Structure 1
């Protein structure tokens, strides 16, 4: 038994190494291309991309009602196959309805959100939702079968195509549209690779699909749309709130500076955390609900290692942030480096704690996650309300946001460990 456990732990480490190596390459490539991109586009144009990406993430979170997250924990492949189809049906329905809404009232809604700069690109929001949603559904099938090789390749493909597209379209002089289109091209790449195994086995796949079984699985995992989807909406709203509120309070230039700072500090920290989180979710899903003690042990060991790994980028950004941004991106991005100094603490907490947060989904206690995320969002809203009425500067606002966000991540980690202790 000990040998088996050791083997599983070794394989877990190998899977993490595989996915994070692909992510690392993607990050290095993105960092290498960033100085070129920031010299082609202005902060205002980058601000439009930041607002677009924020709205897109918020809208796409529940486009398939989070049923895709049930795919790795389904009891067998037949159930998982029906969940895939059910998720795509919901996604396509959402896409059609949203496109209709954006056609009729898109301009008014974007004006209301102080995002009128996106009016020309409103249909690209719908397209982006479709691509992100499709990728996420297929990604969770790959996590179920532990096809981390394909997952790794898609991450590399997305980074390369996205950055090259942004540079190429920028050189054509089409402005912020080049950034938005580059973002969409990056999001859509990888879908074919992820779907290839299903396409090859399409006959066997189709045989397992039944309308009654789709309905059965959607009912069985109803907690995902009831709790997980709202929880993720709330969580993402908290992540994207700074971009939206900074645009509202200080304009697109400040949002652009924040957007670059946040995206750069997220490259070595948050994106690696997402890769580790995906492997961790796959591993915990295979353990199931019958060994909470092992899940807790795995969670604690992983968090300790991540805390040590993340110290290096944290110290680099805190010590040299403004200098690095000025040298790499140009002198007018100095303030973005100051933002990065502050935001590095949020990224550090995100990196260490994010994988453990997914435990709620595996043990189907998404209601706890929803409560925690609502609490976090309320605190973040309070930050920007205080900023508005107290006339805080952008830097003062970001400092307060950093304190609140970091504390919220710590609270979530404590709650996760206590819940696991109760079940152990």
Structure 2
């Protein structure tokens, strides 16, 4: 079989396309539950209460990224199943030790931290942090084991259960305030982790005896680069997400942090989770492609498909913001709509570049990955420093942050392409080929804004323009996808 034929088999047949379909469909269903429930939640909870949730999840995200010292990322890599089981055990041991340390630190310094962030209402929820951390870490470890076993359907099912249970707890317990927002997250993670635990046991995990101490030590030694280097990558990656809400609370207030948190929940989180679903499958296939010397072809194929399916949708969303946020979520969330309009370009680049450029660990370029994540973590600091010196409008701070993040993702794409042997012009051609038909998709809405404003039949014209644009999006995505599948190599 030729290299090109092998790539076509990965991307079009059972192993890759079906895995992506299983994982992305489950992820999309899970996010659809959250998005559909959001208009209800935004009317049950205030922006300040969403601010509490945002700050809690920001701190949890930073801690969860390093809670197993990144050993979980190595689980899909070994050829020997016994080594992979050893890595699972090592990850769980590291997670338990880390959770104990966080429990002690939270008891000693937690109240001081929330006081500095002017979020004293979080004091009542600090006891949930170690519990949420352990459950999140265990979910991450089991997720990578199921990834290794190609149990993508089980992963997808766990995401749906997680979202459904989370939303139910948050709606039913709304009278308890911010505690239900946080508690719903924990309940959802617990049930998802339980499902992955049963799936792992069914897959034959630790069918024989658990690894001996000697085997655990060898696994730690062989994959020591993951805690030594990837821990810093994970820390900086999570910090890039956590720092903006923390700085919004520090420089402004909980309400502004909550508005930014809703933007993350509606735009960033769905795109990240769908991208992570593709990334989970791509990471395993990229390991095999690298062994066969065809990684560059797989990267380019995945990148083009991501651009094809996302660019029309992002442009459609851009034409509807920021007014759509006020209509859907209520008048209290106008600021979140303004934030979302600035965040969209950043999200497009994150969605289309992150899954297919997560090859630095495979290429043994851990320090390169670290520098890019460090750049993303530093970008919010520069953006808020700019805002502190020159402007007082948080919306402009978000605009600067989006611009800086776009530069980082473009740099990451170009360097990942070069490391894998892909021409930068090939990557640029992907975007240029997708741009014309994407602009055609949103043309009806652009014309509506130009000619129908002030008309007595404005609602009719909007529905007509939106329906036409949406139909064009689906039609062009479908035609482009079919053309990519049939394109000769």
Farther off after superposition, 116-125 or 15-24 = 116-125
* 2:221 aligned with 1:222: no
| CA-based RMSD | 1.8
Farther off after superposition, 110-119 or 134-143 = 110-119
State the Cα distance separating 1:339 from its structure 2 match: 0.9
Q: Which has the larger radius of gyration?
A: 2
* 2:99 aligned with 1:95: yes
State the Cα distance separating 1:267 from its structure 2 match: 4.7
- Change in Cα spacing, 1:333 to 1:201, as seen in structure 2 (3 Å) is closer
TM-score scaled by length of structure 2: 0.82
Residues in 1 aligned to 2:287 and 2:127: alpha-carbon distance in whole angstroms:
37
- Counterpart mapping for 1:246-395 below 5 A: 246-287=248-289, 289-292=290-293, 294-395=294-395
State the Cα distance separating 1:23 from its structure 2 match: 1.1
State the Cα distance separating 1:102 from its structure 2 match: 1.1
Corresponding residue number in structure 1 for 2:425 = none
| Number of residue pairs the alignment of both structures matches | 418
State the Cα distance separating 1:51 from its structure 2 match: 0.8
Q: Select 1:191's aligned residue among 177, 193, 200.
A: 193
State the Cα distance separating 1:22 from its structure 2 match: 0.9
Task: Kindly provide the CA deviation profile for residues 206-259 of structure 1, in whole angstroms up to 9, marking residues without a partner as x.
Answer: 515111111111111111111111111111111221111111111011111111
Task: Kindly provide the CA deviation profile for residues 326-375 of structure 1, in whole angstroms up to 9, marking residues without a partner as x.
Answer: 11111221221111111111111110011123211223321110122223
- Counterpart mapping for 1:67-106 below 5 A: 67-106=71-110
Task: Kindly provide the CA deviation profile for residues 63-91 of structure 1, in whole angstroms up to 9, marking residues without a partner as x.
Answer: 00000000000121100000000000000
- Counterpart mapping for 1:130-149 below 5 A: 130-149=134-153
Task: Kindly provide the CA deviation profile for residues 264-302 of structure 1, in whole angstroms up to 9, marking residues without a partner as x.
Answer: 112542221111111111211333x4334x111111111
Q: Select 1:239's aligned residue among 226, 238, 241.
A: 241
Farther off after superposition, 309-318 or 40-49 = 309-318
Q: Select 1:43's aligned residue among 18, 26, 47.
A: 47
Equivalent position SS for 1:360: coil
Residues in 2 aligned to 1:5 and 1:178: alpha-carbon distance in whole angstroms:
47
- Counterpart mapping for 1:170-189 below 5 A: 170=174, 173-189=175-191
State the Cα distance separating 1:417 from its structure 2 match: 1.1
Question: Any gaps of 5 or more consecutive residues in structure 2?
Answer: 423-489
Equivalent position SS for 2:66: coil
Residues in 2 aligned to 1:266 and 1:386: alpha-carbon distance in whole angstroms:
23
TM-score scaled by length of structure 1: 0.94
Residues in 1 aligned to 2:153 and 2:142: alpha-carbon distance in whole angstroms:
14
Residues in 2 aligned to 1:148 and 1:204: alpha-carbon distance in whole angstroms:
20
Corresponding residue number in structure 2 for 1:413 = 413
